[in-house]
Copies of this chain bind each other. A is one copy, B any other.
Amino acid sequence: MPRKIGNFSEALLLSDVTVLLGQDLFPGAKRIQKMKISLWLVAAIIGLGANFAAASETVVVDRSMSEQEVLDAQQGWCKALLDIGNVHATKGHAAAKALAGEVIDGAYAYPMGVVLFKPTLTVNPQTFRATRDGALSYFVGGDSAFPNDDGFALKGWKKCEIENAAIFIAGDSATTMGKVHFTDKDGNKTSVDKTWVFVKDDLGTPRIATHHSSLEYQT
């Protein structure tokens, strides 16, 4: 985006920088591209006698959600689910619970006030998990306030595969709908219908604001 200013311009594209504002959100999966800041540094020499040299730059901040960011966030969710199970198997429940808490804090939008979360296997009167505690219990169980939870992440999942039917990118948020296929250690597969709404927080990190998961309808 070097710009001509006058007849005798000389534009120099110095750099196209991606500023990394990253932090570890999903354990083990460093996700860094929070905010793409493209910097164009343009040195323009104006006028016949070069009597004026203006250094102008266009700063471009793009807070829209890219398709790749959506796909990365989905993969991050799958990886985190398997990680929690692996930590449970090797380090015990406390470690798994601690990791699940980190995952929820990094990947869900509870700090924005609420998450609309309908997990796959929950029942009345605790079907919906609008609070962090409810989400944590669903993933790792062990909370007497949610007596029916036995920990979805602790079921020994070995694979988590995402099959998107559709992605709607609204701007700084995006919705996905499709199948997620879980495979356990014996090779048994469970498929669910899943809707996620991802919203970007101030740092540009996609966070899950809505999560509706359901077993496939059986005729």
Contact = CB atoms under 8 A, between A and B. Distances in A.
Most chain B Cβ neighbours within 10 Å, of A1, A167, A172, A177: A177
Contacts of A55: 125
Interface stretch (A22-30, A83-91, A100-108, A115-123): A115-123
A162 interface: yes
A50 interface: no
A37 B38 CA distance: 25
Contact of A199 (B111, B125, B127, B170): B170
Contacts of A118: 177, 193, 195, 214
A17 interface: no
Contact of A54 (B67, B121, B125, B173): B125
B128 A219 contact: no
A171 interface: yes
Given A71-B1, A114-B166, A210 B195 contact: yes
Contacts of A199: 170
Contact of A116 (B56, B66, B121, B166): B166
B168 A171 contact: no
A123 B216 contact: yes
Interface string A170-202: 111101111101000000010001010101011
A212 B212 contact: yes
Interface string A46-84: 000000001111111111111100010000000000000
Interface of A: 1, 3-6, 35, 37-38, 54-67, 71, 111-114, 116-118, 120-125, 127-128, 130, 148, 161-173, 175-179, 181, 189, 193, 195, 197, 199, 201-202, 209-210, 212, 214-217, 219
11 contacts: A6-B189, A60-B67, A64-B170, A113-B168, A117-B177, A118-B193, A122-B217, A123-B219, A128-B166, A148-B219, A177-B210
